[in-house]
A = this chain, B = another copy of it.
């Protein structure tokens, strides 16, 4: 692996001092910001995540805040998911597409009030899309990136740790719901959500200055729970089938190709961008779709799309892959053509180290 050069352009976060003190070994860049990827080792971090509790600096989940009389209308334009049932206190996973139905981002939206939303974004400058739409359509809405940095607490002991810092009330937060909880006199949005399948919370830390006090409070309270600094884990998230925008889906793909058709109610999401294209897709069905794949043999890091072939013909690509210690295979996410996507289909993956036998699986590994 090469080094990552320091630059103000790769922004630090309110928790960077803590991340460095915890011995971060590697980063990626995400929304023009540093995202830790390795602390002890990807494998050791993986086992620890599944057994204890980790605190993750996911400040890179920047917020796009929509505020004003047209905020609700703009939110519904942004996604083919029907938002009519959304209320304050709810988080919605909302695929966002352009006019051709191509994925622009797959954020989680929080409704704060009738005229105020946070959109917690994946790795693309969604703010520019939102601002462009709002300007072009002369909507009465302000779109900005507020000083809000999510801190995730993930793992089987996450609830216990959170209860120690925020009180037992956090135990009552349901999945993809949020509440307000006090830290040092300030009410913070705390949601039951996160980019792992191990359970946990995301704290929307409003105001950089409370970042390190909160970080320290969590570590202090969790010493006997073996709390550690962690980060989204490249193995665990593929096992769980958690998609990554930019890896497993891009502007090339529709939500239906990404298996996100269940979040698209294009018929009733009145006014959403991409409606015409997605109605067509919904009617005909996609010709390729994301599938869980297992790959045999040793594999290199998946730093580019690997072609998938069958009888010498290209029928898809692997977009994420990792060796899974718990499942004793290489777990992978791939986009596979309709002709070859049935579970059990035997395929060949052209890795950068050569071809490997692969198989379409029935389910992800959770």
A-to-B contact residues, CB < 8 Å: 1-12, 24-30, 32, 37-38, 98-99, 104, 123-126, 128-137, 234, 244-247, 273, 301-305, 319-320
Contacts and interface: CB of A to CB of B under 8 A. Distances in A.
B25 A2 contact: yes
Given A11-B304, A131-B132, 10 more contacts: A1-B4, A3-B26, A6-B302, A8-B305, A9-B123, A29-B29, A98-B135, A128-B128, A128-B132, A132-B132
B6 A1 contact: yes
A295 to B, nearest CB: 15
Contacts of A126: 128
A8 B7 CA distance: 22
Nearest to A20: B2
Given A125-B125, A135-B132, A136-B136, A4 B28 contact: yes
A253 to B, nearest CB: 13
A1 B1 contact: no
Contact of A32 (B132, B246, B319): B246
Contact of A8 (B12, B29, B319): B319
Given A129-B131, A131-B132, A135-B99, A28 B7 contact: yes
16 contacts: A1-B3, A3-B4, A3-B27, A8-B247, A8-B303, A8-B304, A9-B28, A9-B246, A10-B28, A12-B303, A104-B128, A124-B128, A129-B131, A132-B133, A132-B136, A134-B136
